[in-house]
């Protein structure tokens, strides 16, 4: 089964080729949707998410993307030698380090650069690609941030430095107990990244 999950204010739009319903969200036929209307529903109604059924996801996904400016980004789930996970704290949420891909950069290079800049960490090595997440935000129109996430490791053991000019007020490695608590105060797409790591 192929599917894409796109978050709007932490509410998922699940675009899927499967007719099997695995949640309590309403189902709409992709061919019949009006993009602005589904955004309005998610922003104003009490529904927690929606399913868009597509009989041709390969072609419908690019059609969906045409409604927005796509902003490519990259980030990392970083493990230290104790297998703790690196988190940043920004705007009252725990998050994973990430940022926009610059022109001419590969996703891998951007991911390492952003983690280094946001956390003051070095000696990063990419182990593998984890997942790509999508979320819609509203700034001078409708934007879709497409973030490519990588599993990384580092033996860096010096003091971490949050990038305060980006609004980051704390950066630290968290153990399993602390991660469980942080995930109560994070975004849904970050939970997806962590779940993809847990599956490895």
> How far is 7 from 70, CA to CA, in rounded Å?
14
Q: Tens of pLDDT along 144-191?
A: 999 999 999 999 999 999 999 999 999 999 999 999 999 999 999 999
pTM as predicted: 0.94
What pLDDT score was predicted for residue 123? Answer: 95
- Spell 46-72 as b/e; 16+ CB within 10 A means b: eeebbbbbbeebeebbeebeeebeeeb
The answer, yes or no, to whether residue 1 has pLDDT greater than 70, is no
The answer to whether residue 44 scores a pLDDT higher than 90 is: no
Residue 48 and residue 26: Cα distance in Å, rounded?
A: 9
Q: pLDDT tens digits, residue range 86-142?
A: 999 999 999 999 999 999 999 999 999 999 999 999 999 999 999 999 999 999 999
Nearest to 52 by CA among 8, 85, 101: 8
Dihedral of alpha carbons 105, 109, 114, 120, sign: negative
Q: What is the pLDDT of residues 50-65, one digit of tens each?
A: 999 999 999 999 999 9
What does the alpha-carbon distance between residue 50 and residue 11 come to, in Å, rounded to a whole number?
Answer: 8
Nearest one of 93, 58, 95 to 78, comparing CA atoms: 95
Provide mean pLDDT across the span 7-15. Answer: 95
- Backbone phi and psi for residue 33, each to the nearest 5 degrees, phi listed first: -80, 150
- Domains, the chain, with CATH or none: 3-65 (no CATH), 69-198 (3.90.79.10)
């Amino acid at each position: 089964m192929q599917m894409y999950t796109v978050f709007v204010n932490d509410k998922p739009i699940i675009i899927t080729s499967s007719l099997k319903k695995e949640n309590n969200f309403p189902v709409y036929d992709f061919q019949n949707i009006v993009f602005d209307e589904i955004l309005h529903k998610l922003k104003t109604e009490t529904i927690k998410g929606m399913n868009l059924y597509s009989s041709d996801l390969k072609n419908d996904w690019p059609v969906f993307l045409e409604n927005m400016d796509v902003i490519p980004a990259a980030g990392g789930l970083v493990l230290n030698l104790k297998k703790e996970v690196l988190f940043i704290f920004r705007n009252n949420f725990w998050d994973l380090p990430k940022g926009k891909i610059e022109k001419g950069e590969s996703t891998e290079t951007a991911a390492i650069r952003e983690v280094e800049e946001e956390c003051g960490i070095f000696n990063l090595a990419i182990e593998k690609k984890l997942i790509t997440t999508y979320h819609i935000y509203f700034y001078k129109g409708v934007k879709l941030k497409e973030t490519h996430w990588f599993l990384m490791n580092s033996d860096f053991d010096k003091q971490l430095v949050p990038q305060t000019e980006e609004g980051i007020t704390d950066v630290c490695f968290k153990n399993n107990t602390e991660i469980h608590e942080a995930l109560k105060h994070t975004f849904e797409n970050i939970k997806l990244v962590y779940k993809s790591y847990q599956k490895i």
